[in-house]
Structure 1
């Protein structure tokens, strides 16, 4: 069981969360600005995804993926993406913690997933074929499935590259 699994159960206390958001997306910056104005029970650090600061803070993270989906990292190493990331952001807010507890149930996560899918559709409409601020471009072989998100056609739907060590997860740098 990994660090994030222990944190999700409560074995590792969460004292601070870093939210990586797409600074080029109008919806993402609106949500970022809204989060900053809320009373926080757990401090939120909001950092543009793919930015040099994000790369410095989390060198082992797949930063291209953070542009396509909200990513939240806890100070104990917990990693949340997609619906779980939205729920943990609500959990950090005083006024929305009870809602986050309801959303963390199996039925609530279905609702959270629908919210994330709606946000993805909005971003797709905003950016056209390059939702995610240009991180995933159709011209580069990326395809978007509304149910499951982005995938690269070279690997097929739901498949991973055979040698992930050759990708940016190995620590290579991409242009900021």
Structure 2
């Protein structure tokens, strides 16, 4: 299964999993809440990626990378990323274990990869929107022109006219 880092844990049983998710991503938090409501055959601990708890529970992994790619850590040190992490997460759920077995086949792996890529595209679009809403990454000139790396140049007009009137954004 691609995306699995062994760490010398071949054959070690998985008794508990830590799922590191992006707490700033609406899709990730929706899925986190959905996972919490599912019947679990293998307990899933849902931990915000990059948090103090994540660093405490999962030392030695690249916590910056966990913010950009789903990461699942097994209790024996197994690390799953990307599509493999989703397949193993489904495997941990009572109702979705059969689907996980189907997704672990070569044709199923292509479907799992496509789902992960679609989620990544959504997450990136959401991040871009957050940056625009926060004014981050945008260059605003005094004459009313704003440059955003995503949208390019936009004219909003001057913030105030000479007589002191305010022009709304």
Question: Is the pair's TM-score, using the shorter chain for normalization, greater than 0.5?
Answer: yes
The answer on whether the counterparts of 1:4 and 1:79 sit within 8 Å (CA) in structure 2 is: no
Query: How many Å apart are 1:40 and its aligned residue?
Result: 0.3
Partner of 2:14 in structure 1?
14
The answer on whether the counterparts of 1:3 and 1:76 sit within 8 Å (CA) in structure 2 is: no
Partner of 1:117 in structure 2?
117
Partner of 2:91 in structure 1?
91
Partner of 1:53 in structure 2?
53
> What are the residue-to-residue correspondences of 1:6-155 with 2, within 5 Å?
6=10, 11-128=11-128
* Structure 1 pair 76–41 and aligned structure 2 pair: CA distance change class (3 A): same
Cα RMSD, aligned residues only: 2.2
TM-score, scaled to structure 2: 0.72
Query: How many Å apart are 1:59 and its aligned residue?
Result: 2.0
The 3-state SS of whatever aligns with 1:56 is helix
Q: Distance in 1 between matches of 2:97 and 2:8?
A: 19
The answer on whether the counterparts of 1:124 and 1:130 sit within 8 Å (CA) in structure 2 is: no
Larger-Rg structure: 2
The answer on whether the counterparts of 2:6 and 2:79 sit within 8 Å (CA) in structure 1 is: no
Superposed CA deviations along residues 7-63 of structure 1, whole A, max 9, x for unmatched, are xxxx11100000000000000000000000000000000000000011111221100
Which consecutive aligned stretches of 4+ in structure 1 deviate over 6 angstroms post-superposition? none
Partner of 2:160 in structure 1?
none
Tell me how many residue pairs correspond in the alignment. 130
The answer on whether the counterparts of 1:70 and 1:82 sit within 8 Å (CA) in structure 2 is: yes
